[in-house]
């Protein structure tokens, strides 16, 4: 787990990753979301936990995810987040954007 | 902002505690899971928890950011600030009362002046759609205002191109059963056009003015019905005699309706009654027609300039059959929505008053700013520590401003009360001091507050909160974090500079107000003792109806208390004399002059000496011979060599030889008098023409108390028959009236000056007290090093004197400018009145000494041992 191998998330990409993580439709709490992101990215992406919660609240305010209290796998009360319909649309939009952007950057990097 | 956002925000605002707890729980859960994960990796319990916290970062910033997302931060922190400020106020009630009182005084005065301004300039008349009402006048080629004949008016009313409705009226003052009433004679559609309904009976109808002499009815205003007829429920059907002609009261208007003028109209009668009420004055023929005011409702979608052009064209056509010089050349429209239309001129009239009260408010704000600053300085340690702990400066400034606003709101309310009291008291004082004959005809105006007044007050309160709150807030949060941590604040020189600026403004304004009002008061004094050049004591002016003149004259001559009787076409000091141009002959220089037709007794009655030549003879008076007596000034202007007697004087009116006296031989030279109005100063050249005692207004000289004599004569003459005396007053009353506005202005000025003095004393006192507290350590060291009590006292006094000297200098400079402005408008003001300046300067200097005395004594009592023991 070397320091060099980890990448801080780009500004704005955290929102996209959160939405993607919730795409399956299963409700997840904050901890699970951050674990999932790190796990899937094979620990390359490090979620700044300090910005995770403000981001979740922001998405909730935008109406893209909604939160409700539930019981965690360990029997503790936790706040579970779920994708809303408009969140799903937003995810598609942002995924498209991201793909276009990364493709473009990729092309530039290869050409130059 | 979408629906979710709004709901969440509302929830965050009202269920703040619950939302906070949830946030806490959510973050705690996260940390717990992280700890658990670390433990699973093999960290010990405490180490696992520590690692989790390190990974997470600071809890508080995260929470703060989550709160920011909620967006209720502003409201929450404001509520906290308000609570904090209120707790602070509870600890220092004296401070709160002083601040509120000071600001309320300033706001109150400003609101009172604004209320007046609002009444005259902003408030629309309470009639239907006032903004489409315009007064219509037209003038001939020589810019003389001309009137329609009745026939032309009727034509205009029906066929004009710009108005949808037109009414005409003229003012008519009369006494009914001894009660003076200001009224208007109106066309029958007046009430329909203005939309005024009736409380009792009916208003006037178009049928009431269908023919001359109809209909002998009148309508009272609600206010007059209440105040002058005691709200008599049986008023309808009652006959009131106006100028001896009985009219039946047929209605009372709805409350608040008072026509279209500053002074509310108290009754309305049909305009077709004019010939009967005004002794044959004819509004129906083209000859000798009255000049009624024409007001109309402009058609929609027509601009003023377009309407004026259309009306001018129309009027030109209609007056085409008149002589060339009387045909219409231009038409004018003037808005009748408010008493006076807002214009640069109106603002110029109001600006001295507005500036004076504005300055008082500025003083009040400066004082309060000082107090706030002293308070903020006392809290500097707290503020410094908060800043060094990372508090946001903007946040601190906002907190201090919240305090100012909290003080400004009650100050605004109190200020409103102050304004009501100020208006009420001023109106009362005005009525109490008005010359008696004016009191009864002076309109009982009330100046009710309305939405604009409240708006102004709110605005003024907010602005003053910013003025007195912002500077101290910015200033006190500027503290250097390093210094604050060490507890040293006094090394920052800026607060002192700001405080000094405030005091400089205060003393300067105070000096300015005091000197200026001093100059005005002295001007008023010199005006009162001014010699107008003729006898004013014991002289009564009387206007008698033409038809009963012989009877009245006989009666007056038989009255033992009447010593002498004379007549004049213009009564001295009534403020109006007709103009004339004069010259010594063809081709010589032309002067503007005034003239008066007088009987031979005029000069002896008023004790105006005839310096050269002779008086009019009785024959000349009877026949109206072409002779003239001229004033000294006239003689000097026209015949500088001093040989006026026997020369011919040529007169022209409106560019033509005057019809009555194209040329008159000078038979006498009379001493100069002031016969128009005192503030205007000495007359321009004045010419007297002879007149018989059978015409014009009467002048009577009586024995004993002139006011009693006047009333006695009025009642005795009233028993002769109908109401023969149209009006009578004493010359002394006219004199008092002519001086009155000036007196009122000097009172207002000195009252404001006194208030400013009070504020200044408290202002200087505050600054110096603070200074002494701040320099206690320094003073202690000085005393320990052997400074005498006197030296220490001197230290403080010198500070005060230095400030006062600078400000007095500034004040004098400003006062010179202001007095000069007054002097250029009012003859009796002396810009360089040494006594007024000396008095003002002395007062301000004395106030500065007095205000510095207590703090300086306190400085002298500083105990060096105690002070040096600090820190």
Domains in chain A, number: 1
Is A3 an 8 Å CB contact of chain B? Answer: no
What band does B472 get if pLDDT is binned at 50, 70 and 90?
confident
Neighbours of A82 (CB within 10 A): 15
Q: State which residue of chain A sits closest to B65, comparing Cα positions.
A: A54
Nearest CA distance, A104 vs chain B (angstrom): 33
User: Rounded to an integer, what is the distance from CA B801 to the centroid of its chain?
Assistant: 36
Of A29, A49, A60, Cβ closest to residue B8: A60
Q: How many CB atoms lie within 10 A of CB B211?
A: 11
Cα A69 to the center of its chain, rounded Å: 20
Mean pLDDT score across all residues of chain B? 81
**Partner residue facing B69 (CB), from A48, A58, A78:** A58
Residue A75 forms part of a structural domain = yes
Cα B650 from Cα B687, distance rounded (Å): 11
Q: What value, to the nearest 5°, has the Cα angle with vertex B796 and ends B793 and B799?
A: 145
| CA separation for the pair B136, B331 (Å, rounded) | 7
Cβ neighbours of residue B594 closer than 8 Å, sequence gap 6 or more: B577, B578, B579, B580, B675, B676, B683, B684, B685, B686, B687
Q: Is B832 near chain A, with CB under 8 Å?
A: no
Which pLDDT tens digits describe chain A residue by residue (112 residues)? 334 455 556 657 888 888 888 988 888 888 888 888 888 887 777 777 778 888 888 888 888 898 888 888 778 888 999 999 988 998 998 899 889 988 998 899 888 6
Eight-state DSSP code of residue B299: P
Cα-based distances in Å from B340 to B55, B124, B581: 74, 10, 33
Contact across the interface for A50 and B68, Cβ inside 8 Å: no
Nearest to A77 among B25, B27, B55 (CB): B25
Residue A32, domain member (yes or no): yes
**pLDDT beyond 90 at B629:** yes
Task: State the best of B3, B7, B33 to mutate against chain A, taking most chain A CBs within 10 Å.
Answer: B33
Residue B544 and residue B714 in contact, taking contact as beta carbons nearer than 8 Å: no
Per-residue pLDDT tens digits for B632-681: 888 888 888 878 888 888 887 766 666 677 788 999 999 988 877 666 66
Domain for residue A2, yes or no? no
- Distance CA(B403)–CA(B372), nearest Å, equals 10
Long-range CB pairs of B489-495, under 8 A, 24+ apart, other chains included = B489/B377, B489/B380, B489/B381, B489/B384, B490/B774, B495/B373, B495/B377
From A31, A28, A34, select the one nearest A9 (Cα to Cα): A34
CB within 8 Å: A54 and B25:
no
Is B6's Cβ below 8 Å from some Cβ in A? Answer: no
**CB burial of residue B350 (10 Å; 0-12, 13-18, 19+):** middle
Residue B393 above 80 pLDDT?
Answer: no
**Looking at the predicted structure, is the pLDDT value of residue B773 above 50?**
yes
Taking alpha carbons only, the member of B534, B564, B538, B536 closest to residue B706 is B538
For the cut 50, the answer to whether the pLDDT of residue B443 exceeds it is yes
Domain residues for the domain of A13 are: 7-111
Q: Tell me what pLDDT residue B417 has.
A: 92
Query: What pLDDT is stored for residue B156 in this prediction?
Result: 85
Strand partners, B702: B562
pLDDT in tens, B703-762: 888 888 888 887 777 666 555 666 778 888 888 777 777 777 777 777 877 887 888 787
Do the chains contact at A49 and B65, CB–CB below 8 Å? no
Q: Is residue A94 part of a domain?
A: yes
pLDDT value of position B288: 44
Nearest to B688, CA basis, from B607, B625, B735? B625
How far apart CA B331 and CA A68 sit, in angstroms, is 77
> How far is the C-alpha of B448 from the C-alpha of B318, rounded, in Å?
44
Query: Quick check: is A83 in a domain?
Result: yes
- Say what the pLDDT of residue A52 is: 86
For the cut 70, the answer to whether the pLDDT of residue B283 exceeds it is no
Residue A46: inside a domain: yes
Q: Which pLDDT belongs to residue B435?
A: 65
Q: How far apart are CA B177 and CA B158, in angstroms?
A: 38
pLDDT score of A2: 38
A20 belongs to a structural domain: yes
Backbone angles phi, psi at B563, to 5 degrees: -90, -40
Q: Which of A10, A12, A20 is nearest to A81 (CA)?
A: A20
Task: Note the pLDDT of residue A3.
Answer: 42
Instruction: Report CB contact under 8 Å: B29, A78.
Output: yes
The DSSP bridge partners found for residue B669 are B612, B630
DSSP helix/strand/coil, B206: helix
Q: What is the sign of the dihedral through the CA atoms of B395, B397, B403 and B409?
A: negative
More confidently predicted of B292 and B721: B292
Task: Determine contact: A53 vs chain B, CB below 8 A.
Answer: yes
Strand partners, B656: B653
Diameter over CA atoms, chain B: 138
B13 touches chain A (CB under 8 A): no
Residues B858 and B768: their CA atoms lie apart, in Å, by: 10
* Length reported for chain A: 112
**Would you call A29 an interface residue with chain B, using a CB distance cutoff of 8 Å?**
yes
Contact B610, B635 (CB under 8 A): no
Residue A1 in domain:
no
pLDDT exceeds 90 at position B252: yes
Tokens 């700044």: give the residue: A48
ipTM (interface pTM): 0.86
Find out whether B510 and B758 touch, Cβ atoms under 8 Å: no
Interval B675-710: pLDDT, tens: 776 666 666 788 999 988 777 888 999 988 888 888
Bridge-based pairing state of the strands B725-730 and B145-146: unpaired
Does B357 score more than 60 pLDDT?
Answer: yes
Pair of tokens at residue A81: 């987040």
**Token pair listed for B85:** 């400020």
Distance from CA of B392 to the nearest CA of A (A): 20
Task: Please give the pLDDT value at position B36.
Answer: 86
Question: Which residues on chain B are in Cβ contact (under 8 Å) with A51?
Answer: 65
- Do B449 and B112 touch, CB atoms closer than 8 A? no
Q: What is the mean pLDDT of residues B45-55?
A: 85
- Give the model's confidence band at B494: pLDDT under 50 very low, under 70 low, under 90 confident, else very high: low
Most B-contacting residue of A28, A29, A50, A66 (CB-CB within 10 A), to test interface: A50
Q: How far apart are CA B629 and CA B635, in angstroms?
A: 10
The token pair that represents B739 in the structure block:
């001086």
Residues of A with Cβ-Cβ distance to B32 under 8 angstroms: 76
pLDDT in tens, B168-186: 888 887 777 767 788 888 8
Which residue among A53, A62, A77 sits closest to B62, beta carbon to beta carbon? A53
Which tokens is B407 given? 């003080």
Q: Which of B367-376, B531-540, B577-586 has the highest mean pLDDT?
A: B531-540
The residue among B714 and B304 whose pLDDT is bigger is B304
Rounded CA separation B353/B359 (Å): 10
Residue A71: which CATH number?
1.10.10.10
């Amino acid at each position: 787990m070397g320091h060099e191998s980890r990448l801080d998330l780009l500004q704005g990409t955290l929102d996209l990753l959160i939405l993607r993580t919730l795409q399956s439709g299963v409700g997840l709490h904050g901890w699970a979301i951050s674990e999932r992101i790190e796990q899937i990215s094979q620990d390359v992406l490090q979620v700044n936990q300090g910005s995770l919660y403000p981001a979740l609240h922001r998405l909730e305010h935008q109406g893209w995810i909604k939160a409700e209290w539930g019981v965690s796998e360990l029997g503790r009360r936790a706040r579970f987040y779920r994708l809303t319909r408009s969140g799903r649309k937003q995810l598609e939009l942002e995924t498209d954007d991201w793909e276009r952007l990364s493709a473009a950057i990729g092309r530039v990097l290869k050409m130059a | 902002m979408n629906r979710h956002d709004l709901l969440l925000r509302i929830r965050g605002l009202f269920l703040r505690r619950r939302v906070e707890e949830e946030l806490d729980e959510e973050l705690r859960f996260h940390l717990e899971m992280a700890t658990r994960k670390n433990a699973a990796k093999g960290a010990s319990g405490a180490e696992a928890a520590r690692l989790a916290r390190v990974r997470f970062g600071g809890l508080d910033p995260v929470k703060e950011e989550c709160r920011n997302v909620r967006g209720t931060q502003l409201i929450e922190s404001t509520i906290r600030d308000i609570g904090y400020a209120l707790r602070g106020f509870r600890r220092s009630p004296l401070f709160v009362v002083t601040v509120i009182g000071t600001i309320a005084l300033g706001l109150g005065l400003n609101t009172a002046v604004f209320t007046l301004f609002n009444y005259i300039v902003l408030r629309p008349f309470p009639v239907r759609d006032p903004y489409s009402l315009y007064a219509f006048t037209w003038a001939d080629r020589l810019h003389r205002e001309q009137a329609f004949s009745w026939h032309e008016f009727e034509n205009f009313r029906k066929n004009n191109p710009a108005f949808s409705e037109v009414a005409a009226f003229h003012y008519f003052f009369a006494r009914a059963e001894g009660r003076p009433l200001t009224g208007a004679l109106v066309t029958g559609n007046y009430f329909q056009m203005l939309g005024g309904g009736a409380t009792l009976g009916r208003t006037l109808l178009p049928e009431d003015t269908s023919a001359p002499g109809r209909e002998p009815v009148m309508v009272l205003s609600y206010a007059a019905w209440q105040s002058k007829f005691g709200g008599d429920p049986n008023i309808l059907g009652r006959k009131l005699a106006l100028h001896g002609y009985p009219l039946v009261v047929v209605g009372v208007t709805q409350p608040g309706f008072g026509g279209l003028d500053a002074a509310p109209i108290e009754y309305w009668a049909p305009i077709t009654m004019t010939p009967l009420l005004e002794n044959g004055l004819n509004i129906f023929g083209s000859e000798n027609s009255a000049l009624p005011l024409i007001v109309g409702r402009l058609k929609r979608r027509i601009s003023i300039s377009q309407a004026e052009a259309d009306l001018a064209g129309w009027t030109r056509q209609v007056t085409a059959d008149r002589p060339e010089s009387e045909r219409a050349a231009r038409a004018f429209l003037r808005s009748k929505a408010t008493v006076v239309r807002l214009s640069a001129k109106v603002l110029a009239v109001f600006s001295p008053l507005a500036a004076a009260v504005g300055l008082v408010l500025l003083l009040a704000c400066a004082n309060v700013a000082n107090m706030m600053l002293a308070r903020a300085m006392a809290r500097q340690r707290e503020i410094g520590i908060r800043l060094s702990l990372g508090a946001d400066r903007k946040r601190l400034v906002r907190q201090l401003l919240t305090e100012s606003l909290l003080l400004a709101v009650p100050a605004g309310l109190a200020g409103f009360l102050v304004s009501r009291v100020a208006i009420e008291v001023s109106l009362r004082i005005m009525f109490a001091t008005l010359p008696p004959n004016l009191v009864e005809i002076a309109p009982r105006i009330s100046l009710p507050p309305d939405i604009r007044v409240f708006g102004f007050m709110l605005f003024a309160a907010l602005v003053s909160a910013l003025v007195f709150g912002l500077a101290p807030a910015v200033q006190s949060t500027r503290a250097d974090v390093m210094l604050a941590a060490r507890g040293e604040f006094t090394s920052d020189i800026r607060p002192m500079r700001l405080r000094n600026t405030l005091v400089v403004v205060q003393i300067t304004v105070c000096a300015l107000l005091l000197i200026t009002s001093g100059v005005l008061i002295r001007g008023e004094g010199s005006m009162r003792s001014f010699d107008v050049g003729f006898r004013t004591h014991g002289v009564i002016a009387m206007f008698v109806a033409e038809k009963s003149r012989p009877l009245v004259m006989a009666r007056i001559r038989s009255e033992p208390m009447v010593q002498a009787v004379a007549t004049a076409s213009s009564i001295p000091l009534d403020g109006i004399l007709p103009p004339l141009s004069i010259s010594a002959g063809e081709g010589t220089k032309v002067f503007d002059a005034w003239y008066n037709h007088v009987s031979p007794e005029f000069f002896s009655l008023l004790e105006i000496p005839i310096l050269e030549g002779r008086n009019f003879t009785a024959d000349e008076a009877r026949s109206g011979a072409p002779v003239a007596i001229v004033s000294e000034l006239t003689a000097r202007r026209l015949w500088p060599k001093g040989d006026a007697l026997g020369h011919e004087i040529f007169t022209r009116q409106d560019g033509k030889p005057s019809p009555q006296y194209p040329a008159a031989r000078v038979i006498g030279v009379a001493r100069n008098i002031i016969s128009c109005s005192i503030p205007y100063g000495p007359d321009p050249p004045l010419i007297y023409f002879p007149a018989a005692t059978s015409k014009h207004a009467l002048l009577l000289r009586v024995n004993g108390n002139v006011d009693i004599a006047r009333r006695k004569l009025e009642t005795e003459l009233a028993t002769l028959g109908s109401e023969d005396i149209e009006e009578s007053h004493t010359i002394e009353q006219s004199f008092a009236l002519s001086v009155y506005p000036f007196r009122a202005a000097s009172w207002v000025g000195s009252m404001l000056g006194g208030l400013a003095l009070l504020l200044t004393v408290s202002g200087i006192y505050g600054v110096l007290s603070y200074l002494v507290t701040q320099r206690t350590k320094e003073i202690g060291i000085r005393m320990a090093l052997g400074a005498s009590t006197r030296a220490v006292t001197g230290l403080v006094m010198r500070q005060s004197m230095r400030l006062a000297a600078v400000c007095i200098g500034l004040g004098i400079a400003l006062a010179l400018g202001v007095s000069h402005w007054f002097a250029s408008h009012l003859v009796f003001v002396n810009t360089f009145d040494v006594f007024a300046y000396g008095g003002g300067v002395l007062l301000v200097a004395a106030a500065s000494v007095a205000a510095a005395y207590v703090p300086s004594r306190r400085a002298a009592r500083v105990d060096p041992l105690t002070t040096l023991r600090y820190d």
